[in-house]
Amino acid sequence: MQKRTLGKSGLEVSALGLGCMGLSFGLGPATEKSEAIKLIRAAVERGVTFFDTAEVYGPFVNEEVVGEALAPFRKDVVIATKFGFQADPNNDGKWTSTNSKPEHIKQVVDASLKRLQTDTIDLLYQHRVDPNTPIEETAGAVKDLIAAGKVRHFGLSEAGAKTIRRAHAVQPVTALQSEYSLFWREPEESVMPTLEELGIGFVPFSPLGKGFLTGKIDASTKFDSSDFRAIVPRFTEENRKANQSIVDLVTRFAEQKNATPAQVALAWLLAQKPWIAPIPGTTKISRLEENLGSATLELTPDDLRSLDEASSAIKIAGERYPETHRKLIDR
């Protein structure tokens, strides 16, 4: 597996990481613990060194699984986790309240370190920008944690360009994690110029459009009640039908390249910038191997230009989040 460096930070990771959320949260029933550990270790065996989790996934369970799975390989891997949410007692305990106050961050990190079975978190992201806490205070708290040796690098997730600049002025930001794929290209305009200017890496989550770009989801697909996509506007039956054209486009390219749609979608992302490291998630080793195959799929400049032009002409139907989640996106 090729390695990439996230911006100017010096943090080296595998070109493709593994997003671990779906093993225990958000995309249907949780994977049985031993199977989840088996999958994560299979990724290590295949050269993946970059693993992504968060306290809210589960909540808590995902960090425990990742910690146990990676304990034997700890010195050889990069573990990223996140802070920034708090259970809301006024909303059935749901994790919809943001909290990035310094004292809260430090409590979260101590708990995450125990669950992850480690002394240091390699990359600590603010999960969502907290409108009630100045980003300078949040960045300062992470700076203190880095000085204490509990954290190595600072990251932001779904943060806008202005917030990134303000945070970076206090504690250099190593990476931004936000959604980016052929299914959602908005970051190209909103944040990527800032990332390039400041030397910050980009870690796209949902690089396969929450599975849509694999071609395995269509208008007839039924989602489990525990699957987040069941409430996502972009994934209504009507919008899936309307958005089929982007899947058809990627599928045509895949046929020409003797590859799968997922491999084309990931190879396209990897070709955008050398400081991009996508984190596709999966619960199946066969899909893991398929995704990793994208790292060796070469798209020519003509391929990339054709994909760019054709995908830019397609208007994607539906919001990417329900209204409750859209409120948490920083601009």
C-alpha to C-alpha distance for 242 and 316, rounded to whole angstroms = 8
Q: Is 302 exposed, middle or buried (0-12, 13-18, 19+ CB in 10 A)?
A: exposed
Taking alpha carbons only, the member of 90, 105, 186, 97 closest to residue 139 is 105
Cβ-contact 153, 142 below 8 angstroms: no
Q: Which of 57, 125, 180, 321 is catalytic?
A: 57
C-alpha to C-alpha distance for 266 and 40, rounded to whole angstroms = 19
Which residue matches tokens 């304990």? 71
Taking alpha carbons only, the member of 14, 19, 13 closest to residue 282 is 19
Catalytic-residue membership of 57: yes
End-to-end CA distance of the chain: 34
Half-sphere exposure of 190 (CA within 13 A, CB side): 18
Q: Are strands 173-179 and 97-98 parallel, antiparallel or unpaired?
A: unpaired
Cβ-contact 48, 56 below 8 angstroms: no
C-alpha to C-alpha distance for 30 and 92, rounded to whole angstroms = 21
Cβ-contact 211, 224 below 8 angstroms: no
Amino acid at 132: N
**Three-state secondary structure call for residue 112:** helix
Q: Which residues are catalytic?
A: 57
